[in-house]
Structure 1
Amino acid sequence: MFSIFKSDPTKKLRKEYDAKLEQGMQAQRKGDIKSYAMLSAEAEKIWSEIEALEAKKAK
């Protein structure tokens, strides 16, 4: 009944994922490849969490 009030956890993770990719892109443009690699790794971790939640939701 009150499921319309529940927030979607993947929505928040997708925002974080997009923000990490944006930060990584900015770091790469500045020539900071080390930061770019770290931010890309964090983004990949977030993406794997999103996929796990979506797989759980699909079942």
Structure 2
Amino acid sequence: MLSWFKSDPTKKLRKKYDAKLEEGMQAQRRGDIKSYAMITAEAEKIWAEIEAIEKSNKK
């Protein structure tokens, strides 16, 4: 009934994911490929969490 009051559980994770992508892009621009790879891996883990939450919510 009051579903519009429910917060989106992925909203915070999406912001964190976007921030990691931005951070990775900046590292890549600086030429720091090692940091870029580590940050991108962290972003992929966050994205996997988002997908898992969305998948569990659809059931």
Normalised to the residue count of structure 2, the TM-score between the two structures is 0.91
Stretches of structure 1 lacking an aligned partner (at least 5 in a row)? none
* Corresponding residue number in structure 2 for 1:26: 26
RMSD, aligned α-carbons: 1.0
Report the counterpart of residue 35 of structure 2 in structure 1. 35
Separation in 2 of the partners of 1:12 and 1:3?
18
Paired residues in the alignment total 59
Gaps of 5+ in 2: none
Which residue does 1:52 correspond to in 2?
52
TM-score (norm 1): 0.91
Q: Cα deviations across residues 12-58 of structure 1 (Å, max 9, x unaligned)?
A: 10110000000000000000011100100000000000000000000
Deviating beyond 6 angstroms after TM superposition, the runs of 4 or more aligned structure 1 residues are none
Deviation at 1:3, TM superposition (A): 3.7
